[in-house]
Each structure stands twice: as C-alpha cells, then as structure tokens.
Chains A and B, each alone.
Chain A
Amino acid sequence: MVRVSGLGKRFKIYASPWHRAGEWLSGGRRNLHKDFWALHDISFSVEPGECFGIIGPNGSGKSTLLKILSGVLLPSKGRFDLAASTVYSLLELGTGFHDDLTGYDNVFQSARLLGLPPGEPRPEVVAQIREFADLGEFFDRPLRFYSSGMRVRLGFALFAHLKPELLIVDEALSVGDIFFQQKCAARIDEMRSAGVSFLFVSHDMEVVRRLCRKALVLNHGRVAFLGPSEEAINRYHGLMVGQDPTRRAPELEDREADEQPGMTAAEVRRGDILRADGPRHGERGLELLAARLTDDRGRDTLTLQTRDVLHVDLLILARRAVAAPSAGLALYDRFGTMVFSAGTGQLRHRLPALAPGDAIVVRLDLRLSVQPGEYTFTLGTSEPGCFHDWREQIGPIEVAAEGQDPAFYGVAELPMEARHGAVSHGWVEPAVAAAADRTA
C-alpha cells in the first residue's frame, strides 16, 4: 500500500529574500543558502488495512513526512509509492472549507478539491455525511455560524465517507467531544476492516497503542525505531527523558532493614529526568540532584497502567547539616489538582541525619491507583518547617487503563476491603415478626 525508501527532505534556508534573489540572478552559480535536512533516509511500508503510527518529539519531522506523503511537499531524495489511488489527508480538517458557503455546499467544494468528479458525492453519501456529522439544520447554514467543533465534525464525516484507500490522520482527531471521538474511533475500525490503511500521527500514546500495530519513532529527522507500537511508545518515552529504555535499572531488595541499598548515585544520575530549566524553589540546603523513574521491570518509563508501581529514586545531597531530612512527592492531575502528596515523614520512615557533603539515594514506591490519564509530579526534599528543594512539573506521566472495565470510579482508589457473613434463610423483617407475635 505504502512503500517509502530512503526518503530525505532538505529545506533551503535563506537569511533574507535578497539572498534568494542573488542566487537567482547568478543563474544558480552562487550558493547563498544553508541546507537543513528535516528528514534523513526514512524507509518503511504499510500494508492494506494496517494502521501505522508515526510518533516522535516536536520538531522530529513527523509533519514534514506526512506532507510529503500527502503530496504537499516534494521529497529531495529517495522515493515513495502509494499504491492507493485515493489518498486523503486530514492534515487539517476542513482545509477547503469556505465560510460563506453552507455545510452542504462545502461538502461538494471539498470533493472538487480532492479531485472527485462532478456529481460526486452521490446523494446517498451526502445523506450519510449529514447523519454522521449530526449538525441538524446547521448543515444548511453558512460555515461562519459553525463552532470549531462543528467544523471538525463536518470535516471528519466528509473524509470518512468518501471511501479513501489510505487516510492520513494528523492530531486532528483529538478535537471534538467524547461522543464524537468515540464515533470516529468506531468508524475508523469499520474502515480498517474494509481494507483502508491509516497513517496516524499523534502525541496521544493511548490512541497509537489502541489503533496501531506498528509504529515509527522519529527523532531529529531520522528513524529512531520501527516496529511494534508498544515498544515504539516505550522508545518514544525514552527519547523524551533522553536515554535508552532497554537498559534495566537495578531491582531493590525486600525492605526489612533500615538501610536498603537501591540504586547507586551514578545509576540515578544516568537516568535523570530533572530538567535544569524546570520550575524549582526552596533554599537548597538539601539539594535534589537527580531523579529517575522506573517501572516494576526496571525500565525507565513515563507510561504505566493503573495500579502499577512507580519507583522513584532520588539522589539527595546535603549542603549543610540536616537533622531530620525528608524526601517526598506530589502527584497532580491534568487540571492541576493535587491527587496525592506524601514524604518519608508521613510514611514514618526516618532518614538518617545528614552532614554537609553527605549524599543519599531515597527510593519511593508509589502504587498508581488513580484514574487513567496524564499526571505531573513534584519531587522534593524538606525538613520540618522548611522546604529545601522542590522540583515541579515533572513528567507528564501517563497512566493507562488496566483493562476494559474501570478498576474503580472516582479520582483515586482508596484502600477498601469487603467481607460478608453467612446467609440467613427464610428471612422475615423484625417489625413484621413482632406484629405477628402480637396478633398470636
């Protein structure tokens, strides 16, 4: 369906338009631009009915790649074949829409722009589009009265019913309300089973995990990984924290004694996720030098499932004598609400007194019994009455659902147990029994 081999894209960077003019006037003999290679040697293939993910940090070349595949930009090197005759790209939903035309007219105008013959889409398809978009009478009103969500609905409804063989989908689908998203997801499944291939670009790892079997990780315009999407997502998170996720972090022994050597200072440092420029406050008597997040299998990760345990290793250095040091964390949901916060003090885990120049690695094991979603962290050190070093806005860390059914409802799971007694047979309500006694 899609074959990409050795694809490369170079942009010519001119310091000013005059440089371009100079180059033109010299008949191409002078070179006044700098080359910027946005993509290097990209190769992959997508089979019919396959959903292929493309992920990577911002600026890694995802959009450039999609633009080349949808024919908007021309490659500088290499080649690509789209065996599909109809390729639609949702680079931006509703690109061809005109504000003064009604939804109905826009459907036809977009069809023209996509190269459909006049008379297409047929009336029954228009009816399907109308129904899917679910705009009511707005379908016959000019687009200037539409909300942005309505535009997206019209756009997706249009693309999903024009029978493409390959659909290139950008972030676009993360807009719209939850019901429409679900409708889109169902429609995508339907189209896939009809043999439509998808190229998916998203920052939403949950979408990639759910829809794509294979994925490509781009980094600085090169292929960082190509393979199963699950592994690709881990690689992606590895890129985000800047290290190789295949390396295992050491396991901790069972905690029995007061002192349980976990990671060494060097190990914490190697997987450090603290950003030098992140928000930070406190008087730094106890400095948080490095922090590393690993899962139960010892992999560096920012993606876990509900109820997984996250191991947080903190490397702490005392700049001055601290009698009762404490290390802790706070977890925030995407609305910025603190879901949970505690430190070694609350756990009644007393850390040894530290003298200036002493370093210690503290491990916090946090079971993430929270709703699936994105969370951020604050990690910090303190002593009674004093914040030493709080590092804020760490992450985001992504908590995925465990299975189909929610493990619980609400913000977080509180410790809850259930028990029950023996069954009483032939039960009669006491009031009824008393009344029966009186009459007897």
Chain B
Amino acid sequence: MLTGALHELKQRYAGSALGVLWHIVTPLAQILVYYAVFSRFMSARSDTPAGGAYAVFLCAGILPWFVFAESVTRGGGSLLANEGYLKKLPVPETVFVARSVATSTLTLGLYTIALLAMALLAGVRPQAGWLLLPGVLALFVCFCFGIALVLAVVTVFFRDIAQIVAIVLQFWFWLTPIVYHPTALGPRLSVVMDQNPVTPFILGVRGLLVDGVAPAAGHWAWMAAWAGGLCVAGALMMGRLRSDLRDAL
C-alpha cells in the first residue's frame, strides 16, 4: 500500500518539471494567503493569537483540512478515475480508494512533521501530549477513508456528486474552525460547527499541538464514532452494490 501510495504520488506529477515539489508549493501558497488576510489585513480578534502563534494556529487547522479535502475529492473520485482498471481487471474496488487515501496520509505525515517544527520555532515547548497525536491522526485517516469510500461508491452511480462535493467543500471549510476559533461565527453557526464531523479532529490536533490539551473521553468517543461509523457504512454499501457498481462502470 505504501509503495502504491508513493507510486501514485510519483504518477500524479510525472512529466512536470518540479514533480512532487508542487505537492508542497501549492498548499504553502494557500496558507500564505490566509495568513496574510487574517493576521495582517483583517483585525485579529482577541480570541485568536497573533503573529507566529497565529501561523501555527492556522496550519494546525488547515493542513489536516487539506488532507481531508484531498481524500474526499480524490478518494471520492478514485473508482471513476480507475474505471479503466475496474473494467478490465478483477481488482478489489476498495484498493483504489485506500490507495488514494494512503497517498493523502503520506502527505499528512509530512505535514505533521512540518507542524511540529513550526510549533517549536514559534516557541511552543515540546510536551508529552504530542505523543497522543498519532492516535488522533489515525482516527482522522479512518474518517477520511470512510467518507471517501461512501462517496466513491455513490459517485459511480451519480456522477454529479463530484461537482456537488466541490461546492459543499467550499462551505464546509468556512463552517469548520480552521482560520478562526469555533466561537467566531456567533452562537447560531457555532451549533453547526459543533455538529460538523471534521471539527473534533481539527480541535483535537490543535489542542494537542498548540495548547497541549489532550482530548476528553467524550471527544475521543465522538471522533471514533465518526471514523468507525463511516468505515462501516462504506463497507456495507460496497458489499451491497459491488455487482451493480461493476455493471455501471
């Protein structure tokens, strides 16, 4: 799976001059924009940190989000993208979704290292809580895989889903506490934010990294429920629709 993921990464950028470097440059540019807009041009709110601390705050939210968004779009489209193989080879369908998410996971690993380095640079002291990070990230990856699997199956039958997902992601981003605190949008929207399944993962990562606060038991349960629930739902759908799915491709 790892070699497959590496391979996909290599394939994705095969033929372009800078190759895998684009994988880092593109998100970097985006982070720069958000950082500039929110910490320089718009007055920083009292509850969001300023300067270097904001950069860590932002990245702790946005880097996992990039991984999530990539899993959803690439993973959700992975069955269609590999239509050529699925039409000709008896490969298990889930492999393609898993490979796509594994590629994103690889990115997540790199991001995590970058995040830790940034935190250290910004003056956050290393703490024992960081050891819990892999736990949160593992659940996060399961969550991404589950949602990608569900979307991948549905997308085969309803191809418009890919476009719908792209639009939904736009709103989803701003309804997730990434560039600001969960309370920033006021009481009514913060309810939505609380129910948003991505929120606990982002807050989990940020809490551990920036504040050194470990997630509470309920927080863990909530993340595990989303991750497990989506994986089970995806597996059930795949099991039921496998035959139809092959026919529809």
Contact = CB atoms under 8 A, between A and B. Distances in A.
Interface of A: 11-12, 17, 20-21, 70-74, 76, 89, 91-92, 95-96, 98, 100-101, 109, 112-115, 118
A74 B243 contact: yes
A102 to B, nearest CB: 11
Contacts of A73: 243, 246-247
Nearest to B241: A24
B15 A71 contact: no
Interface string B66-105: 0000000000000000001111111100000000000000
A98 B247 CA distance: 24
B87 A72 contact: yes
Nearest to A71: B90
B158 interface: yes
Given A95-B84, A96-B85, A70 B90 contact: yes
Interface residues of B, number: 21
B246 A72 contact: yes
A73 B160 CA distance: 24
A27 to B, nearest CB: 12
A114 B90 CA distance: 9
29 contacts: A11-B247, A17-B157, A17-B158, A20-B157, A20-B158, A70-B88, A70-B89, A70-B90, A71-B90, A72-B87, A72-B88, A72-B90, A72-B246, A73-B243, A74-B242, A74-B243, A76-B243, A89-B88, A92-B88, A98-B11, A100-B11, A100-B14, A100-B15, A101-B11, A101-B14, A109-B7, A113-B85, A114-B89, A118-B3
A95 B85 contact: yes
A98 B4 CA distance: 14
B211 interface: no
Contacts of B4: 112
Contacts of A118: 3
Interface in B213-248: 242-244, 246-247
Contact of B89 (A20, A76, A101, A113): A113
A95 to B, nearest CB: 4
A72 B7 CA distance: 24
Contacts of B242: 74
Given A11-B247, A72-B246, A74-B243, A95 B89 contact: yes
Contacts of A20: 157-158
A114 B39 CA distance: 52
A21 B158 contact: yes
Nearest to B16: A100
B244 A12 contact: yes
B136 to A, nearest CB: 31
Given A74-B243, A74-B246, A76-B243, A95 B88 contact: yes
Given A71-B89, A95-B89, 12 more contacts: A11-B247, A71-B90, A72-B90, A73-B247, A89-B88, A95-B85, A95-B88, A100-B11, A100-B15, A113-B89, A113-B91, A118-B3
